Structure 1
Amino acid sequence: MEGMSEQPARWTQATVHPDMWADPDADPRSSEGVGPDGELPTLQGFLTDYRLTLRMKCEGLDAEQLARRSVPPSTMSLLGLLRHLAEVERDWRNWISDDDPLPKLYGEKDGDFDGAVAEPTVVGAAYSALEREQAATDAALAEYPDPGERLGKDRIAVRELMVHRIEEYARHCGQADLLRECIDGRVGQ
């Protein structure tokens, strides 16, 4: 059709299961045996897997591809998602703290997506910020082994915060699936 942009062909690296992102032996999320014991280790396991999924969806792309926007008027991009989740991790620490809120990483509302520009330094900074903010939130929550303990001014339970974090990553991983498929046609869960 004239005027339509060329869409990449759908593909996957998986050879065992064609609907997978990677073969089970190459998938860092794959684990054999029974799951972890206990509520918090189970929740942390799901959070870890979704964090890995997001990173996997971004692997192998250059700065232009990571910053590529979905469809107008949306400002969503994979790079924007990395920056957004760093911002969200920081904000979750505000939920559990009685101190003054930490300042936003990217300034104004939507700065995480608006500032997701196709520059290698912006990409590197986004990955660094996400790792730093994830580690800081994980460390802050590690001090509270009781999932029912309520924290911060709003008295949010550790359990609720963990489930909310999983939900946030899961939702954005779904968006990352579509963004990645539009960029280079790669599919898989």
Structure 2
Amino acid sequence: MHHTSDQPARWSQAVVYPDMWADPDDDPRHSENSPDGELATLHDFLTNYRMTLRMKCEGLEAEQLARRSVPPSTMSLLGLVRHLAEVERDWRNWISDGDPLPKLYGERNADFAGTVAVQAEVDTAFCDLQREQAATDAALAEHPDLNERVGKDGIAVRELMVHRIDEYARHCGHADLLRECIDGRVGQ
């Protein structure tokens, strides 16, 4: 494949390991100590993937965050932020026995399709994500036993935690490609 002028050149900010997003000393995800126990390990992985998503969005303008970089997909980095806010909210529906919480952005795929390249929309999406993450974390903190079954469907807390990690990991892979298409920056 030839390199066209509208394709950014690949680059990394890292120099120690040029295939990484940042050098170990500059990477907030880098830790010398491995967590003890299953619950702490699950939280550590979730925290790192959440941080990775934010890092992939850093330094970009609203237009870049809202750009659908891989047509015909409706995905954008902003759409991923909105989608994960929506998903965090939905996970609380899995935990709860009550009526489901209403969607944040509207009907199916509105989290992706409804993105607008406006800074206020970007700010709102990141606030939504932070709020929904905190609310889901708080709801799950009431269930520290990974074997406990919660909600109408009796889902195990362990399964819910692993599903959350899976969702973020999957979308961080999408974020890798979206970011590379936007400005050429690569790295894990």
TM-score by length of 1: 0.96
Q: How many residues align?
A: 187
Partner residue of 1:18?
A: 18
Counterpart in the other structure of 2:50: 51
- AA aligned to 2:184 is G
Could you tell me how far 1:117 is from its partner in structure 2?
Answer: 1.0
In the alignment, what sits opposite 1:162?
161
- Match for residue 173 of structure 2? 174
For the residues of structure 1 that align with 2:93 and 2:62, how far apart are their CA atoms? Answer: 30
TM-score by length of structure 2 reads 0.97
Task: State percent identity of aligned pairs.
Answer: 79
Q: Give me the CA root mean square deviation.
A: 1.3
Cα displacement (A) at 1:39: 0.9
How far apart are residue 84 of structure 1 and its match? 0.1
Deviations 1:53-75 (A, max 9, x none): 00000000000000000233211
Point out the more displaced range, 125-134 or 69-78: 69-78
Cα deviation code 1:4-51 (max 9, x no counterpart): 562100001101110110010110000013x11111111000000000
Contact 2:88–2:133 (8 Å) recurs in 1: yes
Q: Which amino acid aligns with 1:186?
A: R
Alignment check: 8 A CA contact 2:21 2:187 kept: yes
Are 1:120 and 2:119 matched, yes or no? yes
* d(CA) in 2 for partners of 1:16, 1:5: 29
- 5 Å matches for 1:71-86? 71-86=70-85
Q: Which runs of 5+ in 2 are unaligned?
A: none
Structure 1 runs of 4+ aligned residues shifted over 2 Å read 70-73
Query: Take 1:14 and 1:86, find their aligned partners in 2: how far apart are those partners?
Result: 29
Q: Distance in 1 between matches of 2:71 and 2:180?
A: 17
CA distance in 2, matches of 1:5, 1:153: 53
The 5 Å alignment of 1:111-150 reads 111-150=110-149
